[in-house]
């Protein structure tokens, strides 16, 4: 008779096939040094970058009466304002010299309502468009950090596929509200992005930051957007000099090299899908974090998309109280300690390894780096086999890399490289758990020690350590013997 784990693996393979077909229908996702940086970065405020024209806030205009991809909860409940603006100007191409084109795109700005709560940094999310509509991956991964540390964060419709022409793009979703948008093509996206960054620092007549004093602008982007930011760092930053730092997350090209040292801090964060044995060729302004257990697309993103943002975008569901976001986290934050049918859904949900912890730590350290010159911790590299493949232990979990507590003290197998973008989670059975951890108390104490190590290393922030340990405590239902923690 087939055992439970074999059955799960066969089911997973079936899901992989289905997910591969879904991915093919949507289009594939193709589009640690030790030298100290010399203090906080300076960018001269992008002297060659023109300030675009800003229109807005757009308010309740149009058929739907709200922005596509605005928050599914009321950010005003937690002291944040959310407004959409249109950005217009003339952008140049970095691939066809001396070529320019007019454009009109849009941004959604989320900023603290109380100026005293603003930490001075604007995060520009170059929103991913692999699915032919926008998916603000890093905003979803790290929004808890943004709100507690006082960041402003901006949804940037940088690419043409995010503006038109599928049902969940602005110009189709609400043609009245977005009738003036006009994207000349992705050759011009780099300069459009620079101009939006310039508008944050040197606002035109209409200030998208509503008078807040902006000290630094950090760009972030995941997967296909990470590839774009990788190219921006190499090609555009030496010319534009308006962005102060970059989180290049899961670069779709898995490229860790740059033609020269980046001019400003770059923290490159890689999942197992991007694992490559080659070494990066830069040191001074570069940090590489490779996260063991992490998938390209994870469960946290899937749950927020399907149960949170999806109904708001697809059916204009009313915004919910901000507390509903916290309630959603109870499910979305599962790291494999509890059973969930979504553990085998490769792309729609994905592996449950908590990559968000690393994304939040990365942005926290990157902000300190651009403001003070304080370097992020250098991450250890993945381990590789002789053939260049990622090395794994007997459970199928990756070896090496940054090892957060759920991979260091496992309760599941994170097959994060399966299904191309998603990966799956196979929780250990109660019998398997008992063989590793005689009691829940034993597991709790091992996780507590692992969390303390990750905190000391800087790869886990205190609020995330607290969140993790609350989940560890609640996992007592999975253990045959409870015990009393004495650690």
CA distances from 373 to 40, 42, 284, 391 (A): 4, 11, 11, 34
Q: Residue 474's pLDDT is what?
A: 96
Is the backbone peptide bond immediately before 57 cis, with ω within 30 degrees of 0? yes
Q: Which one, of 204, 47, 218, 44, lies nearest residue 120 by Cα?
A: 218
Contact 136, 69 (CB under 8 A): yes
With cut-offs at 50, 70 and 90, classify the pLDDT of residue 141. Answer: very high
**pTM for the model:** 0.91
pLDDT tens digit sequence for 216-254: 999 999 999 999 999 999 999 999 999 999 999 998 777
Mean of pLDDT values over 112-121: 98
> Looking at the predicted structure, is the pLDDT value of residue 424 above 70?
yes
Structure tokens at 357: 């912890």
Q: Residue 18's pLDDT is what?
A: 31
Residue 244's φ and ψ, nearest 5 degrees, are: -95, -15
Is the backbone peptide bond immediately before 137 cis, with ω within 30 degrees of 0? no
**Among positive and negative, which fits the CA dihedral 464, 347, 362, 403?**
positive
Q: Residue 8's pLDDT is what?
A: 35
By DSSP bridging, strand 286-290 and strand 266-270 are parallel
With cut-offs at 50, 70 and 90, classify the pLDDT of residue 3. Answer: very low
CA distances from 168 to 61, 276, 310, 321, 423 (A): 18, 34, 10, 24, 25
pLDDT exceeding 90 applies to what percent of the chain? 80
Contact 107, 87 (CB under 8 A): yes
Q: Residue 349's pLDDT is what?
A: 67
Half-sphere exposure of 361 (CA within 13 A, CB side): 28
Contact 178, 106 (CB under 8 A): yes
Q: What is the mean pLDDT of the chain?
A: 90
> Looking at the predicted structure, is the pLDDT value of residue 445 above 80?
yes
Structure tokens at 483: 């015990």
Structure tokens at 13: 């393979």
> Looking at the predicted structure, is the pLDDT value of residue 419 above 80?
no
Q: Residue 24's pLDDT is what?
A: 32
Contacts of 172 (CB under 8 A, 6+ apart): 164, 165, 166
pLDDT tens digit sequence for 288-309: 999 999 999 899 998 999 999 9
> Looking at the predicted structure, is the pLDDT value of residue 5 above 70?
no
Mean of pLDDT values over 55-59: 97
Pairwise CA distance, residues 29 & 19, whole Å = 13
Domains of the chain by residue range: 1-427, 433-487
Structure tokens at 111: 């900023």
Cα dihedral: 144, 69, 416, 369 (round 10): -50
pLDDT exceeding 70 applies to what percent of the chain? 90
> Looking at the predicted structure, is the pLDDT value of residue 10 above 80?
no
């Amino acid at each position: 008779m087939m055992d439970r784990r074999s059955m799960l693996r066969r089911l997973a393979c079936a899901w992989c096939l289905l997910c591969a077909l879904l991915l093919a229908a949507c289009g594939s996702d193709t589009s640690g040094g030790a030298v100290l940086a010399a203090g906080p970065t300076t960018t001269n405020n992008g002297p060659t970058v023109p300030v675009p024209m800003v229109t807005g806030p757009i308010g309740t205009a149009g058929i739907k009466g709200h922005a596509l991809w605005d928050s599914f909860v009321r950010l005003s409940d937690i002291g944040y304002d959310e407004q959409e603006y249109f950005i217009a100007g003339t952008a140049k191409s970095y691939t066809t010299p001396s070529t320019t084109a007019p454009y009109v795109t849009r941004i959604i700005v989320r900023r603290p309502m109380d100026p005293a709560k603003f930490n001075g940094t604007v995060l520009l999310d170059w929103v991913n468009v692999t699915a032919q509509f926008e998916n603000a991956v890093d905003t979803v991964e790290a929004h808890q950090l943004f709100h507690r540390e006082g960041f402003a964060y901006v949804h940037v419709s940088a690419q043409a596929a995010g503006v038109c022409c599928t049902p969940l793009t602005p110009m189709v979703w609400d043609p009245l509200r977005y009738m003036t948008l006009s994207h000349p093509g992705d050759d011009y996206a780099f300069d459009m992005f620079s101009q939006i960054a310039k508008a944050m620092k040197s606002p035109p007549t209409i200030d998208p930051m509503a008078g807040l004093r902006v000290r630094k602008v950090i760009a972030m982007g995941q997967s296909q957007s990470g590839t774009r930011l990788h190219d921006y760092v190499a090609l555009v930053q030496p010319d534009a000099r308006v962005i102060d730092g970059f989180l290049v997350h899961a670069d779709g090209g898995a490229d860790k090299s740059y033609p020269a040292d980046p001019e400003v801090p770059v923290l490159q964060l890689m999942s197992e899908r991007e694992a490559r044995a080659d070494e990066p060729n830069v040191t001074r302004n570069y940090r590489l974090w490779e996260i063991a257990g992490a998938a390209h697309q994870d469960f946290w993103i899937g749950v927020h998309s399907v149960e949170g943002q999806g109904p708001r975008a697809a059916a204009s569901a009313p915004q919910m109280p901000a507390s509903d976001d916290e309630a959603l986290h109870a499910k979305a934050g599962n790291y494999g300690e509890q059973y969930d049918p979504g553990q085998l859904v490769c792309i729609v949900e994905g592996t449950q390894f908590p990559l968000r912890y690393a994304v939040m730590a990365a942005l926290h350290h990157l902000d300190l780096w651009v403001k003070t010159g304080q370097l992020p911790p250098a991450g250890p590299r993945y381990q590789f086999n002789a053939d260049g493949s990622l090395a794994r232990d007997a459970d199928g979990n990756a070896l090496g890399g940054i090892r957060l507590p759920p991979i260091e003290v496992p309760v599941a197998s994170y097959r994060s490289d399966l299904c191309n973008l998603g990966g799956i989670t196979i929780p250990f059975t109660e019998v398997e758990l008992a063989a590793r951890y005689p009691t829940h108390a034993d597991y709790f104490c091992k996780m507590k020690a692992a969390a303390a190590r990750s905190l000391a290393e800087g790869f886990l922030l205190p609020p995330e350590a607290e969140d993790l340990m609350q989940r560890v405590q609640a996992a007592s239902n999975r253990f045959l013997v409870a015990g009393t923690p004495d650690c």
